Structures are given as structure tokens and as C-alpha cells.
Structure 1
Amino acid sequence: MKSDDPNDPAKIVAVDLQAMAPLPGVIQLQGDITKSSTAEQIISHFEGRLADLVVCDGAPDVTGLHDMDEYIQAQLLLAALNITTNVLRPGGTFIAKIFRGKDISLLYAQMKIFFPTVTCSKPRSSRNSSIEAFIVCQNYTPPAGYVPTMLNPLLDFSYGQGNQLEGVNRVVVPFVACGDLNGFDSDQTYPLGKGEEYNVLEPVQAPIRPPYQTYLDMKKRKELPSQTT
């Protein structure tokens, strides 16, 4: 969120399920965006002002059952969209991680209700074998008379005939594979440095407690069960 005052820095609100190390100039919240209490806390930090960009990189812990993973990810995306409709300015942009599956057309259709321009993008950093992609929704234009609510993130399609699904309920969204054949392949391993000495850079901010910390602690205490091959 930017201010008209050039001396007023942009406001950035970040939220995650896990604790985050503090970053200068960033408001950080720990919570679940699918809970109304977390959503209301996020919205309160904007103090009535509106954001230019909302980004959701959240994803559930995958189970390996693709239908289940796609459904949970879709619900997470809709929770992010619900918050977005409360804080995004008209003309703003919403970007979110999405799992592309066979039943994704309805989700695309709901994005098209709020954004006239919707594109599905696959960055080169995302593995080719993964169903992960990012949906880029531009020029936020909510339906006439739409009032954001925390009760239900889904529309009831009562805001005009233009929002009704037609035909076989399919919405064709442009798909963009970022990069070209000369770029790196995300499913390929490449040598670092190409013969030169490679210096590993420390992360800008290390995780407070990474998910694998429990494993490292158990390994240090030699508490891991013995494994045989």
C-alpha cells in the first residue's frame, strides 16, 4: 500500500502460520487466514486505506492425494480472495499460488467475477512436474453493489447476468510459461560456478524454527530410529 505522500513509506503487512523474524518496515502477523479473526486483524492494519497489491504464496501441507490437495488449496485461495476484496483498491492486482487440476474452471470463473484480466503463469523456478502455478488477477473491478463480507467468500451470482457461468461452466484462462528454451530447466540440476569458486550467500533472514528443526534436534541427541536398507 502506497501513500500519496512521497515521504510516507509503503505499508507492508505479512502473515504466516509460522513465526517470522522481524523485518524493518514490515507489519508481521502470525495466524491462519482462513479464520475470520486473522482476516479482521489484517484488515484493521490498513486503517481504511487500500492496497495496490496482494500476494498469497500460501499452500497446504500436501497429502499426495491430488484431488484433496487441489480442494484445500482452492479454499485457501478463496480465503485470500475474501481478504483481498476488503483491502484492494479498484484497479489493483492479486497474485496467488494455485494448483492446476481438472476441476479448476470454477475457481477461474470466480476470479473473473472480480478481475477482468486473469492469467495463469508458470515461473521457471516452479518444477515442471508440479501442478503448482500462479494466478495473476489484474484490474480489480468488483461487481456493482458488491459488499465484502466475512461470512462467505463465495458469491451467490446475484450481481448481474454477466457473472453467470455459461455453456459447460468452463472459463478459458491464458496460460503463460515464463522463460524460454534457453533458460534453466527447473527439473534439472546444474553445477554452480562453472569451474569458478562459488561463494554461498547466507539468507537475508534465516527461519526462526524451520520444519526440519525437530529432525535435527533428534539427530543431535541420537534419538532417530535406526534404519536398514
Structure 2
Amino acid sequence: MGRSSKDKRDIYYRLAKEEGWRARSAFKLLQLDNEFNLFSGVTRAVDLCAAPGSWSQVLSRKLRGGEGGEEKSDGREKVKIVAVDLQAMAPLPGVTQIQGDITKVSTAQEIIRHFQGQPADLVVCDGAPDVTGLHDVDEYIQAQLLLAALNITTHVLKPGGTFVAKIFRGKDVTLLYSELKIFFSSVTCSKPRSSRNSSIEAFVVCQKYSPPEGYVPNMSNPLLDHSYDVDFNQLEGPNRVIVPFLACGDLSAFDSDRTYPLQTGTSAEYQYTPPTQLPIQPPYEQACHLRKHNLLSREDASQSPEEPEPSAAQ
């Protein structure tokens, strides 16, 4: 990206460089904290899709204290922060990094192990796909990423905890809201000031984690599709609330929005069959004509309540 690009002139980009943040996205989490007080009472936090680490920087400075993330002597030495991403990132003070996949149960188990068997108080996720410019595709991929983050969150978040994640607002975003409301008492969609108006991104702030009674986290189908060998008939109780989506057909099937040539050269050659009646003379025109001239049969008239059949005495 050139030096004269619009992004380099952005005020939050310059502030991030001045204050030592790794990316301008750090201000998004800071502004969300100012609005929702996310860090109050948090001692165990997880940053999913953490690279390059700007949100982990915010967690380190806010929870541990100090500009450089140095621990203070006021009891904050118990704060633990775990950052998870497929890519490696530069170390941060007080942040434990896990280079792993958020769709694997082993990653959730490693997070809990770093917390010494205790669940997390806060889970944040600023992950997003490499946008293609095709809004429908980008929204779908982002929704799948959000569901994967939600899935691992159900493994590591304590009841009453908070989950914050990026979301792309589209025509089907209400489906994601419904999924989140199954697990959280309060779900709010917020757009910080540092998020550009031209972007469809926003952030869901899910508070008071309260899964349905009897819910058992299951990582066998993290993206809610049928590419995994999962028998949904074995799910019972609250686990059946999340309805799987099945897209029927594949790339070898016909596309209903395309026009295909007639198949020739086969054993059954195409033969034109004329229509049974002209398109300009549909049956309802004949029915209208019969009704208008009172030519309906007596049987049809007897079925009409406003025209009762006369009795034999009459």
C-alpha cells in the first residue's frame, strides 16, 4: 500500500503509531471497554485470532497495568492472558501464545491448562477473513469464523462471562444474533468510532454467559456443516437447539440461474411437444366467461352458498 494511501492518513492509524499499538484496531477494543466496561473483574482473558496482537496489547496493558505491560504489585500478578492464532506473532509481556486452530478441542484444552483448570472471564475475537469484495461471500466466511469462535468459547468461558467478536452486518445477520442469544442473556451489536463508516464490520458484545441447562460443548462439528461425520440424531436436549444447515447439491449439479443447451446425441432425442392450449387462452378466461354469462352448470351453482339449488316442490 502506497505512502499516500487513505489508510496512512487515518487519524487512528497515526495515533496507533504514536502510542505504540501494533494496529489501529486496538482503539476498537478500547472504545468498546469504555462503553461496556469489559475489563472489570477480569483475571483470565483469551484473545482468539490474535495476530498481529493489538488486542492482546490492550489486554496486557489494561489487565496487568503499566504502559509496557509490567505487572503491578496490587494483586494483578494473578492475571493470565492467552492469545491463539494459526500464525506466530511477536511476544508480548504477560501474554501466553498458542499457535493453534480454534476449531480443535485440543486448543480449548490447552487454554484451560494455562488457566490451571479454571475457565476464562473474557474471550475476545477480532478475526476476519481476507475480504474478496463479494459481500455475500465475505459475510458467510465471517459468520463461519464467528461460529467457530463461539464454539470454542463455550468450552473455555465461565458462566456469567463476556464474549466480544467481530461481525459483518448483512441481510442474514439476525440468524447469528439468534445463535448468540441461546448462550448469552445480553447481546449487543456495537460499532466503535474507530471503525470506518464505509466498512460493514461491527462487534457483538455478548454478556452474562448462560448456556441452556444440560448443554454439553461439542467440537466435532465446529462450523455447523455436514463435511464432518456427525450423527445429529444422537444430540439430545439443548444440544439440538442449533439447527444444522445443509446445502443440497454440489458444483456438478445444474445452476437454476443459468440456461443450458438442449441435450442432443443421446439415446432419447429431444422431441418438441406442443402445449395443450395456447398460452393466451388460459383456463381462467373460460371460467370468467361462463360466470359472466351465467353458463355454469347446476351442480356448480348448487355448491355456491349464495345460489342454493331450488327444491323439487318449487
TM range (shorter): 0.5 to 0.7
Deviation at 1:149, TM superposition (A): 1.5
Partner of 1:77: 146
Partner of 1:215: none
SS in 2 for 1:116: strand
- Aligned counterparts, 1:115-130, within 5 A: 115-130=184-199
Post-superposition Cα deviations, 1:146-196, rounded to whole Å, max 9, x if no partner, equal 0111113459794299x699xxxxxxxxxxxxxxxxxxxxxxxxxxxxxxx
Deviation at 1:9, TM superposition (A): 1.9
Contact 2:195–2:201 under 8 Å retained in 1: yes
SS in 1 for 2:209: coil
Cα separation, 1, equivalents of 2:198 and 2:162 = 27
Cα separation, 2, equivalents of 1:78 and 1:157 = 20
1:46 corresponds, among 106, 111, 115, to 115
Contact 1:157–1:164 under 8 Å retained in 2: no
Post-superposition Cα deviations, 1:91-113, rounded to whole Å, max 9, x if no partner, equal 11000000000011111101000
Is it true that 1:86 corresponds to 2:176 in the alignment?
A: no
In structure 2, relative to structure 1, the CA distance for the partners of 1:142 and 1:151 (3 Å cut) is same
Is it true that 1:144 corresponds to 2:213 in the alignment?
A: yes
Q: How many residues end up aligned between the 2 structures? A: 163
1:20 corresponds, among 83, 89, 98, to 89
Cα separation, 2, equivalents of 1:27 and 1:88 = 17
Gaps of 5+ in 1: 166-229
Cα separation, 2, equivalents of 1:57 and 1:7 = 25
In structure 2, relative to structure 1, the CA distance for the partners of 1:126 and 1:147 (3 Å cut) is same
In structure 2, relative to structure 1, the CA distance for the partners of 1:62 and 1:93 (3 Å cut) is same
Post-superposition Cα deviations, 1:112-148, rounded to whole Å, max 9, x if no partner, equal 0000100000001111011100000000000000011
Partner of 1:67: 136
Contact 2:112–2:118 under 8 Å retained in 1: no
Partner of 1:159: 238
Deviation at 1:46, TM superposition (A): 2.9
Cα separation, 1, equivalents of 2:184 and 2:76 = 31
Contact 2:112–2:119 under 8 Å retained in 1: no
SS in 2 for 1:23: coil
Deviation at 1:58, TM superposition (A): 0.5
Deviation at 1:47, TM superposition (A): 3.2
Deviation at 1:37, TM superposition (A): 4.2
Cα separation, 1, equivalents of 2:187 and 2:101 = 26
SS in 1 for 2:167: strand
Q: Which amino acid in the other structure matches residue 2 of structure 1?
A: T
Cα separation, 2, equivalents of 1:44 and 1:92 = 18
Bigger drift between 145-154 and 94-103 goes to: 145-154
In structure 2, relative to structure 1, the CA distance for the partners of 1:124 and 1:7 (3 Å cut) is closer
In structure 2, relative to structure 1, the CA distance for the partners of 1:64 and 1:40 (3 Å cut) is farther
Partner of 1:204: none
Partner of 2:43: 2
In structure 2, relative to structure 1, the CA distance for the partners of 1:82 and 1:63 (3 Å cut) is same
* Bigger relative contact order (CA 8 A; separation at least 6): 1
Partner of 1:223: none
In structure 2, relative to structure 1, the CA distance for the partners of 1:49 and 1:68 (3 Å cut) is same
SS in 1 for 2:166: strand
Cα separation, 1, equivalents of 2:208 and 2:170 = 25
Percent identity, aligned pairs only, is: 73
More helix by share: 2
- Aligned counterparts, 1:210-225, within 5 A: none
Partner of 1:104: 173
- The CA RMSD over aligned residues, in Å, is 2.7
SS in 1 for 2:215: coil
Contact 1:34–1:76 under 8 Å retained in 2: no
- Which one has the largest radius of gyration? 2
